Amino acid sequence: MTIGDPVGFHLENLGLTLNAQPVLREISLRLAPGRVCGVIGRNGSGKSSLLRVLARLSPADAGTCRLDGKPLDAWKSRDFARRVALMPQSAPATGVMVLQDLVALGRYPWHGAFGRAGPEDQRAIAEAIALCGLEGLATRPLDSLSGGEAQRARLAMMLAQGADWLLLDEPSASLDLAWSFDLLSALRGLAREAGRGVVIALHDMNLAARFCDDLVALKGGRVTGAGAVADVFRAPILSETFGLAVTTGSVAGLPVAIPSP
């Protein structure tokens, strides 16, 4: 998970306080492109806050956070939007918008609010819709979609943005097991084949271990473990992180963790 500067995200002694409460403390990490990093931990551990810092939505009040050697606040807004895309947990209000129009919003950093979408934009929109299995729903109003379909539509909007870094906060929420596997497999493919950096906040430690290259474990805003899956997915680290005694092993060659009897 660590590579030479200045490529990727580099966080050093990063801290964040919200409403007079520290939510991230002394976070030092390097996140490399071309890899999938899973951020795991209980509710309130700081997973969403870490993604918001990376996305420039919650500026850190201690330490530093750089992308490709440049402080996050030194990036111009449009340049940063072309590099980093965030899929938050909560969905914004979309009114009577149809699915393909929502996905088209992902192209905003490339042509602006009043720009006309060109062939490259249309291609990116179509590819994102297809990747998320939504071709037959492109003209459907968003308020007619199921929870899982709406979640995939939001993912398609983020993919259409064409960013080098994809930040996803609980992307498998509202998805059934099959679509969760398809989604995480697709993200892993984008990292390995297109060199994109993917950072995913997940509650499910077994899903994270199966599809991620690296893990960052958080408890109370502090890192309890960070590195390759094999180095972090260990009973002592997981037990501390989740406050639950667990046993780790493997099934069909895949790492698994289960509560200890």
Could you state, in order of their start, the residue ranges of all structural domains in the chain? 9-259
Whether 258 has a pLDDT exceeding 70, the answer reads: yes
For the record, the structure tokens of 68 come out as: 């490709």
Tokens in use for 43? Answer: 């509710």
- How far from the centroid of its chain's Cα atoms is residue 8's Cα? 14
Residues 204, 257: contact at Cβ < 8 Å?
no
pLDDT(225) > 60? yes
Tell me the mean pLDDT in the region 215-235: 96
> DSSP label at 115?
P
Rg (C-alpha) for the chain, rounded Å, is 18
As a whole number of angstroms, the distance between CA 32 and CA 9 comes to 7
Query: Which position has the higher pLDDT, 215 or 114?
Result: 215
Token representation of residue 92? 């914004």
Bridge partners for 246 per DSSP: 259
pLDDT of the residue at 253: 85
Considering only 58-62, 132-136, 165-169, 210-214, which range has the smallest mean pLDDT? 132-136
Residue 211 pLDDT > 90 = yes
In percent, how much of the chain has pLDDT > 70?
A: 94
pLDDT of 245 over the 90 cut? yes
Identify which has the larger pLDDT, 45 or 145.
45
Q: Flag the least confident range among 83-87, 90-94, 136-140.
A: 90-94
Against a cut of 0.75, is the pTM above it? yes
59-62's contacts with Cβ under 8 Å and 24+ in sequence apart are 60/14, 60/15, 60/16, 60/24, 61/15, 61/16, 61/17, 62/13, 62/14, 62/15, 62/16, 62/17
Residue reference for tokens 């420039």: 56
CATH code of the domain occupying 9-259: 3.40.50.300
Contact 37/212 with Cβ under 8 angstroms?
yes
Q: Give the pLDDT confidence of 173-194 residue by residue, as tens digits.
A: 777 888 888 888 888 988 998 8
Contacts of 199 (CB under 8 A, 6+ apart): 31, 36, 37, 39, 51, 54, 165, 166, 167, 168
Instruction: Give the tens place of pLDDT for each residue, 118-156.
Output: 888 899 999 999 988 898 999 999 888 888 888 888 889
Average pLDDT on 238-242 reads: 95
pLDDT band at 234 (very low <50, low <70, confident <90, very high): very high
